[in-house]
C-alpha cells in the first residue's frame, strides 16, 4: 500500500478549506516529490471551484489555473502530486464522477468529509494503473510528517 506523507499543517489547511467553502466543495492541488511508495507532500494550493452549476457535489480546476500552478511548482523543484476536494455531508469516499474525472495516473486524490460544516474523515486514494483504461483507485495511508 502506498502512503501519502503530509505535514500536519498542510493537512489541517486542506480540512479547513473544506469547512470554509461548506456547503460547497473546495478543491486544490497537492505539490510534492515522489518518495518511492507514494508522495511526500510539501504544499497545498487552493484552487477556485469552476463548477458553479453544481458546486455542492462537483469540483473542477480550470486548465489555465492548473498550468500556472504546475509552472510555479516546477520553479520550486516540486511536481503536482495530487488533488484534494471536500464532500459536504457525504463520506470521504470517491464517487463515480470523481473516478471518471480522475486522469492523473500516479497521483493522489485526497477527499475530506465535511459534516454540518465540520471536517471529519480525510482519506487518500492513489490513482493506480498504466493507462486510462485500467486506472483504478487504491486506498492509501496518510502519514503525518
CB of 121 to Zn ion, least distance (A): 13
Which listed residue (2, 43, 78, 98) binds Zn ion by CB under 5 A? 98
Of 50 and 95, the one with the shorter C-beta distance to Zn ion is 95
Task: Give the Cβ contact number of residue 133 at 10 Å.
Answer: 6
Of 95 and 120, the one with the shorter C-beta distance to Zn ion is 95
CB 3 within 8 A of CB 140: yes
The tally of CA atoms less than 13 A away on the side-chain side of residue 5 is 11
**Can you tell me the distance from the alpha carbon of 38 to that of 130, in angstroms, rounded to the nearest whole number?**
16
CB of 91 to Zn ion, least distance (A): 10
Contact flags string 66-95 toward Zn ion, x per CB under 5 A: -----------------------------x
**Can you tell me the distance from the alpha carbon of 52 to that of 132, in angstroms, rounded to the nearest whole number?**
27
CB 86 within 8 A of CB 18: yes
User: Which region among 29-37, 40-48, 98-106, 120-128 touches Zn ion (by CB under 5 A)?
Assistant: 98-106
CB of 35 to Zn ion, least distance (A): 25
C-alpha cell at 109: 486524490
Three-class DSSP category at 135: coil
| Binding of residue 140 to Zn ion (CB under 5 A) | no
Task: Give the Cβ contact number of residue 98 at 10 Å.
Answer: 19
Of 35 and 121, the one with the shorter C-beta distance to Zn ion is 121
Contact set with Zn ion (CB under 5 A): 95, 98
Amino acid at each position: 500500500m502506498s502512503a501519502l506523507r503530509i505535514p500536519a499543517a498542510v493537512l489541517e489547511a486542506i480540512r479547513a478549506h473544506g469547512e470554509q467553502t461548506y456547503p460547497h466543495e473546495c478543491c486544490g492541488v497537492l505539490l510534492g516529490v515522489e518518495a518511492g511508495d507514494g508522495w511526500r507532500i510539501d504544499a497545498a494550493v487552493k484552487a477556485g471551484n469552476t463548477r458553479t452549476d453544481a458546486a455542492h457535489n462537483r469540483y473542477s480546476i480550470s486548465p489555465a489555473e492548473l498550468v500556472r500552478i504546475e509552472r510555479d511548482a516546477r520553479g520550486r523543484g516540486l511536481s503536482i502530486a495530487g488533488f484534494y476536494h471536500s464532500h459536504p455531508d457525504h463520506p470521504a469516499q470517491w464517487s463515480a464522477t470523481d473516478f471518471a474525472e480522475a486522469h492523473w495516473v500516479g497521483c493522489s486524490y485526497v477527499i475530506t468529509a465535511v459534516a454540518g460544516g465540520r471536517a471529519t474523515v480525510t482519506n487518500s486514494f492513489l490513482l493506480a494503473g498504466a493507462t486510462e483504461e485500467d486506472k483504478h483507485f487504491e486506498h492509501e495511508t496518510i502519514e503525518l510528517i
